[in-house]
């Protein structure tokens, strides 16, 4: 599975109209933690799901294909990280509701959010967007995932975003 996940993500991504965005954009693939470099995890199950977390949202690959290729549990986690709605607010609300129903998907979404927040440190508009969303994101998800070490990294990046967007 760990070998197939990057391949499915890459093949799906090359057919995506959003090709400038890598669907797995720096999310966990190696062990350990690093607050400034790529997002890392010591949980192998997160690694293969991280490669797939945006595939359904950003490519032509659908959830049923992931379920056939991997497992229904992996497809469900990928789906929980995929927002539905006409705008960002609706998509974020959709993701939060799905994650609260499937807490095992939260670490994958945290890794995704951490990678996105880190990339937004060089983009003031995106940084302001992520900083503005973080309190709601944390308030809703932290109680269901207090033992996830990615929260500490997210808090550090959030503080940096706040400082950058206030300057």
Question: Whole-angstrom Cα distance, residue 33 to residue 125?
Answer: 27
Mean pLDDT for all residues in the chain: 77
State pLDDT tens for residues 53-78. Answer: 767 777 788 888 888 888 898 899 98
**8 Å CB contact between 121 and 156:** no
Question: Whole-angstrom Cα distance, residue 69 to residue 74?
Answer: 10
**pTM of the complete model:** 0.77
Count the neighbouring beta carbons within 10 Å of the beta carbon of residue 42: 12
Question: Whole-angstrom Cα distance, residue 32 to residue 53?
Answer: 20
Which string of DSSP letters, residue by residue, matches 95-158?
A: HHHHHHH-GGGHHHHHHHHHHHHHHGGG-HHHHHHHHHHHHHHHHHHGGG-TT-THHHHHHHHH
Residue 106: C-alpha distances to residues 11, 18, 123 (Å): 25, 24, 25
Place 10 in a pLDDT band, splitting at 50, 70 and 90.
very low
Residue 54: C-alpha distances to residues 16, 62, 148, 155 (Å): 11, 11, 20, 23
């Amino acid at each position: 599975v760990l070998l197939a996940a990057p391949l499915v993500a890459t093949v799906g991504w090359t057919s995506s109209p959003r090709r400038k965005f890598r669907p797995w954009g720096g999310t966990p693939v190696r062990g350990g933690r690093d607050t400034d470099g790529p997002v890392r995890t010591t949980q192998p199950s997160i690694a293969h799901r991280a490669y797939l977390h945006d595939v359904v949202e950003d490519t032509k690959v659908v959830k049923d294909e992931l379920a056939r290729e991997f497992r229904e549990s992996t497809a469900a986690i990928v789906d929980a990280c995929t927002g539905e709605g006409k705008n960002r607010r609706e998509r974020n609300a959709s993701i939060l509701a799905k994650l609260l129903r499937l807490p095992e998907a939260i670490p994958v979404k945290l890794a995704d959010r951490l990678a996105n927040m880190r990339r937004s440190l060089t983009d003031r508009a995106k940084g302001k967007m992520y900083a503005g969303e973080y309190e709601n994101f944390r308030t809703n998800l932290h109680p269901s995932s207090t033992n996830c070490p990615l929260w500490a990294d997210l808090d550090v990046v959030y503080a940096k975003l706040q400082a950058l967007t206030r300057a």
